[in-house]
Amino acid sequence: MSDNISEKELIRLRRLVRILKSKEGRGTELISLYIPAGRQIGEVANLLREEYSQAGNIKDRNTRHHVQEALTSIMQRLKLFNKAPDKGLIVFAGYVAGEVLGDEKMEIYLLEPPKPISTYLYRCDSRFHTEILEEMIKVGNAYGLVTIDREESSFAILEGSQLDILETITSGVPGKHRAGGQSARRFERIIDIMVHEFFKRIGERMVKYYMAERKIDGIVVGGPGPTKYDFLDKDYIPADLKKKILGVLDLGYSGEEGIYELLERSKELLQKVEYIKQKEEFNNFLNLLKDNPKGLVIGIKEVMGAVAKGSLEKLLMLEDVTILTVSYTCTNCGNSETVTEATEDMFSFKQSLKCSRCGSQNIKIVAESDETDNIIEKVFESGGEVIYISKSLNESYSLAKTFGGIVGILRQT
């Protein structure tokens, strides 16, 4: 858990980041503004007025209008403050591209960050810059995963629920040979040199990925055979990095396939990692499905019913799922209806809607609302827990395709 951020706030912010990263502007007209803690708002307003004046030089009329209107909206919101709050302020504003050209809509998000901001940042781009906010809400420790055998070595980082496979390198070391006598000894010396060079390259990659570019909390090394021990017994990596090795595991595979096996085999070492927690939570759901299916709710209608009653102990949902409620009227038969669906693609969901009475797709959407935050809030209010299942988890496919992306575990009575 990030420092002093409640689980509820963390989930809300992570969902907001995903929403913001999905937004795009038609041009460079989405504004990201980070205001440091305690900074005078009058000073920030002066800077924004300068940006407004500079935006008048934008050649494209629509982009110019959108940027200036976004700046005006921000300045109006900032009038509510004399100075930035104790941790600062973050503002995202601009005309977000719609489903068709000309369907842009002005959106503005103003929030107090979970940790203090120390640097002023203004960006006008075709996307929102969420990197600073993302850094604040990183969850859990970061671990390096390395597989080594005589032919190849792979490197990955597990942070929170995200598994990032960085690179696989090959050794070029030949297999067994049948040469005899002097040729055999010369061949062995050549192989020893090639292995040494391969180990040097592995060490260089580990320093690069786990010391220079990132700071990790531990490393797990695995692979088939003794090659991994041959590497670790020598000084191919600095002592400070070697101290971070949590364990060395024997595997059946190397390379990228070995990384996934290493992840499975190192559960006890990585208990605190969110990725492992998510996997265990989903496996618990599958066990309940087999042993006590009445203790579960599957399907958006059943889940929402349990949420309304306050009877959910846990809500498991795919990280990209949006709970969308749409009201429509069928222009073919006049039927009006409201439907709610858990979907990863709101546009495709709305495009595929059919009238429940006549089956026609000639429908007119009259209202739509995102119910996700409301559902999550109700789960927390009733004392339940929300578990996001990352798309990088293999089980996410089953959750999406078999169970519609959202399931609930009922509270035991």
Q: What are the pLDDT digits (tens) for 386-396?
A: 998 988 888 89
Shared-domain flag, residues 290 and 204: no
Structurally, the chain folds into a number of domains equal to 3
> Between 322 and 137, where is the model more confident?
322
Q: What is the CATH number of the domain that holds 334?
A: 3.30.1330.30
Tokens of 108: 């503005």
**The predicted structure's pLDDT at residue 219:** 95
What is the mean pLDDT of the segment spanning 260-266?
93
Q: Which of 272, 293, 318 is the last residue of a domain?
A: 272
Shared-domain flag, residues 267 and 343: no
Shared-domain flag, residues 205 and 329: no
105-114 confidence digits (pLDDT tens): 999 999 999 9
Local structure of residue 106 (DSSP, 8 states): E
Q: What is the CATH number of the domain that holds 223?
A: 3.30.420.60
What is the mean pLDDT of the segment spanning 114-126?
93
Contact 71, 31 (CB under 8 A): yes
Closest among 119, 27, 102, 22 to 70, alpha carbons compared: 27
Shared-domain flag, residues 259 and 331: no
User: Do the domain assignments include residue 340?
Assistant: yes
User: Do the domain assignments include residue 124?
Assistant: yes
User: Do the domain assignments include residue 1?
Assistant: no
Shared-domain flag, residues 180 and 129: no
**Residue recorded with tokens 């789960």:** 379
What is the mean pLDDT of the segment spanning 363-370?
93
Q: Which of 116, 136, 156 is the last residue of a domain?
A: 136
**The predicted structure's pLDDT at residue 118:** 87
User: Do the domain assignments include residue 215?
Assistant: yes
**The predicted structure's pLDDT at residue 1:** 42
**The predicted structure's pLDDT at residue 50:** 97
Count of all residues that appear for the chain in the document: 413
Contact 222, 187 (CB under 8 A): no
Given pLDDT bands bounded at 50, 70 and 90, which one contains residue 323? very high
Given pLDDT bands bounded at 50, 70 and 90, which one contains residue 270? confident
HEC readout, 176-200: CCCCCHHHHHHHHHHHHHHHHHHHH
Q: Which residues of 374-401 are buried (b: 16+ CB within 10 A; e: fewer)?
A: ebbebbbebebbbbbbbebbebbeebbe
Local structure of residue 114 (DSSP, 8 states): S
User: Do the domain assignments include residue 2?
Assistant: no
Per-residue pLDDT at 268 exceeds 90: no
**The predicted structure's pLDDT at residue 173:** 84
What is the mean pLDDT of the segment spanning 343-360?
90
Q: Is 115 helix (H, G, I), strand (E, B) or coil?
A: coil
Per-residue pLDDT at 403 exceeds 70: yes
Percent of the residues in the chain that have a pLDDT greater than 90, as a whole number: 71
Closest among 31, 55, 25 to 121, alpha carbons compared: 31
Per-residue pLDDT at 222 exceeds 90: yes
Percent of the residues in the chain that have a pLDDT greater than 70, as a whole number: 94
- Number of Cβ within a 10 Å radius of residue 178: 7
**The predicted structure's pLDDT at residue 142:** 86
User: Do the domain assignments include residue 296?
Assistant: yes
Shared-domain flag, residues 283 and 405: yes
Given pLDDT bands bounded at 50, 70 and 90, which one contains residue 25? very high
Q: Which of 136, 160, 182 is the last residue of a domain?
A: 136
Shared-domain flag, residues 359 and 400: yes
**The predicted structure's pLDDT at residue 182:** 57
Q: What is the CATH number of the domain that holds 79?
A: 3.30.960.10
Given pLDDT bands bounded at 50, 70 and 90, which one contains residue 4? low
What is the mean pLDDT of the segment spanning 164-176?
87
Which range of residues forms the domain containing residue 314?
Answer: 278-410
